[in-house]
Amino acid sequence: MTGIPGAALLVLAGYLIGAIPVGLMIGRLVGGIDLRQHGSGRTGATNTLRTIGVPWAAGVFVLDLAKGALPVLLVGWLYSAGPAGSPAWVAAAAGVAAIGGHVRSVFIRFTGGRGVATFVGAMLATAPLVVAVVIPLALLIIWRTRFVSLGSLSGAVLAPVATALLVASGRAELAGVGLAAGGAAVVIAAHADNIARLRAGTERRLGR
C-alpha cells in the first residue's frame, strides 16, 4: 500500500480491528451475558473480571491487547511508500484508531471498553520499553489503592512522558510520542465517569 489512500485504508482497518467487541462476544459465548448490562457497562477486561471471572478476563485482555498491536504491525508489513518517516506516523494513527474503535465500536452502537489493553498493545508494538516501564508503575498503583481506574489513568499519563524520554535518548521515534499522546487522550476521555467518581470518593475498589 502506498500514499494517502493506502494510509487511509490502514487507519480504517485499525479502527475496525479495534472495534471488534471481544469482551461482548466472550460474555455471550460463556453464558449469554451482555457485559453492557452488568457492572460498569463496559466490554473490556475489568468488567469481564467482575462479571464472569479471571480466566475469561485474561482472555479478553490478551485479545484486546492484540487489537492494538495488529494495526501497528500491519502498517509495518504493508505500507511501503511516502515521505521519510511517514510509515511510523501511519502506524501511530492506526494504533490510535484501534484504541478509538475499542472505546466506540461501530459494531455495538459506539459503545465499548476503556481502551487500556488496546493502548498497551499498540505501545508494545511501537515502543516496548515504554510498556516495560509504565506497566509495573500502574500495577503498583492498583495494588496500593485497589483502584483499577487510577492505575490505568496514571499509566496513560506516564506513557507520553516515557516515550518522549526514549525519543530524546534515541531509542524511539517521534511518532511514538504521537501514538502515546493520542492513545492517552482517548483512554482518559473514556475514564471521564471514573474520574468523577474518584473525585467524589465513590469509585469502586477492586475486589468489591
Q: Decide if 123 contacts 36 (C-beta within 8 A).
A: no
For cell 500502574, the residue is 138
Check pLDDT > 80 for residue 85.
Answer: no
Q: Decide if 190 contacts 200 (C-beta within 8 A).
A: no
Domain positions in the chain are: 3-200
Angle between helices 128-145 and 116-126 (to 10 degrees): 150
Q: Which three cell numbers stand for residue 54?
A: 479471571
Which DSSP string do the residues of 178-189 spell out, in sequence order? HHHHHHHHHHHH
Q: Which three cell numbers stand for residue 127?
A: 515502543
- Given this model, what pLDDT does residue 180 score? 98
Task: Report the C-alpha dihedral over residues 31, 36, 40, 42, rounded to 10 degrees.
Answer: 100
- Segment holding 43, helix H or strand E: none
Tens digits of per-residue pLDDT, 38-75? 988 999 999 999 899 999 999 999 999 999 999 999 99
Q: Decide if 155 contacts 139 (C-beta within 8 A).
A: no
Tens digits of per-residue pLDDT, 118-161? 999 999 999 999 999 999 999 999 999 999 999 999 999 999 99
pLDDT band at 33 (very low <50, low <70, confident <90, very high): very high
Q: pTM for this one?
A: 0.94
- Given this model, what pLDDT does residue 168 score? 95
What 3-state class would DSSP assign to 41?
A: coil
- Rounded Cα–Cα distance for residues 135 and 121 (Å): 12
- Rounded Cα–Cα distance for residues 200 and 86 (Å): 44
Average pLDDT, the chain: 94
